[in-house]
Each structure stands twice: as structure tokens, then as C-alpha cells.
């Protein structure tokens, strides 16, 4: 089976590509820029996949790839995923996250047979609703640039499913962690700082509550969706772990696992972040029998060891 991954050199895309290659899938990826250091290249899997230079908004290119490589599934992960960068560059973010998603789906419509899994996010739910956790019936109410771009992409995917019968499933994951080379995210920052015996820096006031899921559980969720696609076609599904912590509590767990007595530096600069956010994943679990395999601590232990290897400590 041939699979196209947009965003293949990103965090989740790299881990997903690695798993699919190990399962003997033919994996194709679109890359806009060839970066010297990615999770994919760190594991040596950049040589085991077919990488094509191009832009995810290029419908002609996408259509050609679908046909030339006999693509059965496109896993659309390409996005500007960092909230701060999205706020600084809104037009670029909208182009990648919204037009990019529309282009991927339009190429699917033209092709007529490619099945698409679109990566959305729990951030599309935006403002804290009357009750938590969020379920799939919760209205999408984005509050910033990143949230708005992903909510727009999410709704575009729903429209393509309803209007054109394009085969599509939308995934709304909670905060994903694991071995990741993007040091702007919380967990990599804390682990790397601790390994260097430096106090970790927290941009917010640390009280925000989030749900955390290990990347391998997300990869397994994608594999499950591929296997059971027909029963999920047209649906948006929440994918969460049930492991819910404040930022400060998550940092404390990491430091305790690493046996580091380091006091975090709390900047309190992030003023527009959602206060509490976690998911009800019951619907997805009932439809597929998927469930997370890794506890928060177990996932962190594996992640910490990966960073030790990467940094040579």
C-alpha cells in the first residue's frame, strides 16, 4: 500500500513515517524545505521514504503524486503548528493550514479514490465550553490565529465529505509529546533544560490544564483509522489519553522522573491561552476499540532516554 504524508519531516509525521516503513508501506512525503536535522533523518528514515520537493498548496503536484505513486491514503499533517509563530505570520499560517488543506482535499476529489485523514487539533474548540471534557459535538470557537486556521481546515474537510463525498476522517488530538526537535514546545524544552542542569522556562503562568498523549499512541490511532476507515468516513474524532495536568504539574513530573531539583522560571507572558482543555475520546474508542497504551510517566521515560541519546549525555 502506498501512503502520502504531508508534513513528513515534522514531529508526528516523522514518527508516523517510521512506523509505516517498518510495516512495509511505500511511504511518499512532500517537503517544502530540505532541513538538515529532522526526527525523520535522525532515525535514518529519510533514505527509506520517497521525498518530493513541493508545496502542499500545489494542487497539480498533489494530483500527479496521487496518480504516479498509486496513493491509497494521504495523511495530511502539514501545518504551521506553533501558536506563537502563527500569531506573528497570520497570512502564511492561513495559506499553509487552510489553503493547504483545501488543496489536498481538492486533489482527492479530482482523483476520486484517495482516502484522506486530516489532522485537526483540540485547539479548534477554542473558548472553554459550559462543560468539560470537549466531545465532538462541542462547537468550534477559535480564539487566536492558529486555532482559527485549524478550525477552518477542519470545517473545509467536513464540507468536502458532505458535498463531494470525499473520503475523509478528521482527527482532533490533545497535546502530543515524544522525541521532537522543536524546542519551542513545553516537554522538549523542560527535558533538554534539565539534562543541561538548567532551570526550565515556562512562558505562561503554569496554571493552564492540558491533556497529554504519547506520540506512539497517536501513531497507533492513525493506523487504526486506516484499518477501519470505512466505518469512520465523514467523522471527526477526538483522540486523547485521559492524562490531564496543569503545566506546572507536568513539569514537576518530568523533573521528578529525571531526579532534578530545579525550580522552573515562570514568565507569565502567554496571556491569551485557553485555561483548561481536555477531550472526551469515548466515541473514537467505541468505534474502533483503540486505547492508549502508554501512561504519561511511561511515555516520558522513553522520551527522556531518547533525548539522552540525542544529546550524548
pLDDT at residue 91 in the model:
92
Q: How far does CA 212 lie from the centroid of its chain? A: 12
| Pairwise CA distance, residues 313 & 304, whole Å | 11
Mean pLDDT of 44-61: 96
pLDDT reading at 129 higher than 70:
no
Grid coordinates representing 193 are 533544560
Instruction: Report the pLDDT value the prediction gives residue 128, as an integer from 0 to 100.
Output: 65
What are the angstrom distances between the C-alpha of 73 and each of 118, 168, 239, 261? 11, 10, 19, 46
Residue labelled with grid coordinates 534539565 = 194
pLDDT at 87: 80
Residues with Cβ within 8 Å of 214's Cβ and at least 6 positions away in sequence, in order, are: 176, 177, 178, 241, 292, 294, 296, 298, 299, 302, 303
Helix (H) or strand (E) holding 52: strand 50-53
* Cβ neighbours around 130 below 10 Å, total: 5
DSSP for 229-271, please give it. Answer: HHHHTT-EEEE--S-EEEHHHHHHHHHHHTT-----EE-----
Q: Taking 80 as the threshold, does the pLDDT of residue 85 lie above it?
A: no
Of 60-64, 182-186, 298-302, 306-310, the least confident: 182-186
What average pLDDT does range 49-66 have in this prediction? 97
Where does the pLDDT of residue 37 fall: very low under 50, low under 70, confident under 90, or very high at 90 and above? confident
Confidence of residue 64 (pLDDT cuts 50, 70, 90): very high
The answer to whether 211 touches 174, Cβ cutoff 8 Å, is yes
Lowest mean pLDDT among 72-86, 101-115, 205-219: 72-86
Mean pLDDT (whole number) for 211-236: 98
How does the average pLDDT of the chain come out, rounded?
Answer: 94
Q: Which of 45, 125, 134, 146 is catalytic?
A: 146
- 146 in active site: yes
Tell me which of 12-21, 29-38, 78-87, 227-236 is least confident: 78-87
Angle value at C-alpha 179, between 306 and 215, nearest 5 degrees:
125
What integer pLDDT is reported at residue 182 of this predicted model?
87
Domains for the chain: give ranges and CATH numbers: 2-177+212-240+278-294 (3.40.50.720)
Digit-coded pLDDT (tens) for 250-309: 999 999 999 999 999 999 887 677 889 999 999 999 999 999 999 999 999 999 999 999
Mean pLDDT of 69-87: 87
Amino acid at each position: 500500500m502506498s501512503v502520502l504524508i504531508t508534513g513528513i519531516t515534522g514531529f508526528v509525521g516523522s514518527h508516523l513515517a517510521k512506523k509505516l516503513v517498518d510495516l512495509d508501506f511505500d511511504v511518499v512525503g512532500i517537503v517544502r524545505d530540505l532541513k538538515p536535522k529532522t526526527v525523520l533523518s535522525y532515525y535514518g528514515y529519510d533514505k527509506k521514504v520517497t521525498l518530493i520537493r513541493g508545496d502542499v498548496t500545489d494542487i497539480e503536484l498533489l494530483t500527479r503524486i496521487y496518480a504516479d505513486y498509486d496513493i491509497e491514503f494521504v495523511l495530511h499533517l502539514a501545518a504551521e503548528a506553533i501558536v506563537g509563530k502563527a500569531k506573528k505570520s497570520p497570512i502564511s499560517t492561513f495559506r499553509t493550514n487552510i489553503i493547504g488543506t483545501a488543496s489536498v482535499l481538492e486533489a482527492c476529489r479530482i482523483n476520486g479514490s484517495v482516502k484522506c485523514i486530516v489532522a485537526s487539533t483540540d485547539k479548534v474548540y477554542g473558548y472553554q465550553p459550559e462543560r468539560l471534557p470537549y466531545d465532538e459535538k462541542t462547537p468550534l470557537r477559535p480564539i487566536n490565529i492558529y486555532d482559527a486556521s485549524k478550525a477552518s481546515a477542519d470545517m473545509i474537510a467536513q464540507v468536502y465529505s458532505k458535498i463531494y463525498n470525499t473520503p475523509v476522517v478528521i482527527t482532533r488530538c490533545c497535546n502530543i509529546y515524544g522525541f521532537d526537535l522543536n524546542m519551542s514546545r513545553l516537554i522538549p524544552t523542560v527535558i533538554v533544560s534539565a539534562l543541561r542542569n538548567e532551570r526550565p522556562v515556562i512562558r505562561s503562568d503554569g496554571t493552564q490544564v492540558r491533556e497529554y498523549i504519547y506520540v506512539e499512541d497517536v501513531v497507533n490511532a492513525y493506523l487504526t483509522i486506516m484499518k477501519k476507515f470505512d466505518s469512520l468516513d465523514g467523522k471527526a474524532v477526538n483522540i486523547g489519553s485521559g492524562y490531564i495536568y496543569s503545566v506546572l504539574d507536568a513539569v514537576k513530573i518530568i523533573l521528578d522522573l529525571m531526579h532534578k531539583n530545579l525550580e522552573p522560571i515562570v514568565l507569565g507572558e502567554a496571556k491569551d491561552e485557553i485555561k483548561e482543555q481536555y477531550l472526551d475520546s469515548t466515541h473514537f474508542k467505541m468505534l474502533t476499540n483503540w486505547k492508549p497504551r502508554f501512561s504519561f510517566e511511561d511515555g516520558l521515560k522513553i522520551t527522556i532516554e531518547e533525548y539522552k541519546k540525542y544529546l550524548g549525555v
